[in-house]
Amino acid sequence: MGRTRFHKGHGTRNDFILVSDPEGLKPLTPEFVRRIADRRGGIGADGVIRAVRSGAVGDWDGDPNIWFMDYHNADGSVAEMCGNGLRVFARYLLQQQLVDTLEFDVATRAGVKHVEAHNHTISAQIGRAMVAGDSVRVDAGGRAWDATPVDVGNPHAVAFVASEELPALDLQHAPVWEPAERFPEGVNLEFAVVEGPDRLAMRVYERGVGETQSCGTGVVAVAAAYRAQHPGEGPVAVRVPGGDLRVDFRPEGAVLTGPAEIVGDGQFWY
């Protein structure tokens, strides 16, 4: 029998389990991630984040002293980045007094990201969202749409649907896309509606997880796909089932702002 101390947090109801391993002595295994993230047999979460110093990450060649967000999907697979996870990770570092300023850098598999804490929200630099010129055909529950690939450090495909189609979407089962080889390692699929100028609503099916209440990089992908069709300079507001987020496009890349909180802690026995 073993035990691990954990914290639980969420950003617009996209929830995460956080574990501390500063020296990098306890790497996460797929089996452990699946067990602790299980909503009936474990604690339950969309993803698991290990807090580890960058210098203890084998293939990291940047600043060894900043914190590294070692992110894993609920199915145990490793992901490059997670926008809401990054903001919740920042709140965790602040709450645990592991950083001593309200602005700091976090290392991820998608590079170094800058975060800034406000009274009730966290802003995270996500980076450039690269909107592709091609499209894929996405089928969800027997209904199909053209979707635009967007690279946000991890892969996305954004389909704009009619307002009445969004709540009727069947996301209990994984949507499929053609051509399949466009995303050989899977893709996060977003379905979005334009509710007004610079105002969107979306649902998302995350690879390795399923439908979630929110997806930070997915929100950025949807906002970027919208901006590609509707040029402008102002922020884009995106409503997800779990709440509201804002995306600002700056010269250095997209910035995602929204609530992030730690809701509890405890010990997981396994």
pLDDT digit string (tens) for 96-121? Answer: 999 999 999 999 999 999 999 998 99
State the Cα torsion 126-130-134-136 to the nearest 10°. -10
pLDDT value at residue 58: 87
Q: Please identify which residue in the block is written with the tokens 């995350």.
A: 206
Residues forming beta bridges with residue 248, ordered by sequence position: 255
> What is the per-residue pLDDT for 129?
97
Catalytic residues: 82, 215
pTM of the model: 0.93
Q: What is the pLDDT of residue 59?
A: 86
| Residues in CB range of 251: below 8 A, 6 or more apart | none
- Residue 80 CB burial class (10 angstroms; 0-12, 13-18, ≥19): middle
- Please report the pLDDT score of residue 93 as a whole number: 98
Q: Tell me phi and psi for residue 158, to 5 degrees.
A: -110, 125
Confirm if 237 and 246 have CB atoms less than 8 A apart.
yes
Pseudo-torsion of CA 259, 34, 174, 195, nearest 10°? Answer: 0
**Do the strands 243-250 and 143-151 form a parallel or antiparallel pair, or are they unpaired?**
unpaired
- Let me know: does 216 contact 86? Beta carbons within 8 Å: yes
Q: CB-based contacts of 179: which residues, under 8 Å, 6+ apart?
A: 136
- d(Cα 153, Cα 143) in Å, to the nearest integer? 28
Structure tokens at 62: 């940047």
28 touches 40 (CB < 8 A): no
What secondary structure does DSSP assign to 24-57, as a single string? S-SPPPHHHHHHHH-TTTSS--SEEEEEEEGGGS
pLDDT of 251: 93
The answer to whether the beta carbons of residues 51 and 67 sit under 8 Å apart is yes
Q: What is the pLDDT of the chain when averaged over all its residues?
A: 96
Non-local CB neighbours of 66 within 8 Å, separated by 6+ positions: 53, 54, 104, 105, 106, 107, 112
DSSP letter for 182, please: G
Q: Could you read off the pLDDT tens digit of each residue along the chain, which spans 270 residues?
A: 789 999 999 999 999 999 999 999 999 999 999 999 999 999 999 999 999 999 999 889 899 999 999 999 999 999 999 999 999 999 999 999 999 999 999 999 999 999 999 989 999 999 999 999 999 999 999 999 999 999 999 999 999 999 999 999 999 999 999 999 999 999 999 999 999 999 999 999 999 999 999 999 999 999 999 999 999 999 999 999 999 999 999 999 999 999 999 999 999 998
Compute the distance between CA of residue 159 and CA of residue 136 in angstroms, rounded to an integer: 9
Cα→Cα distances 35→13, 40, 48, 208, Å? 20, 9, 11, 14
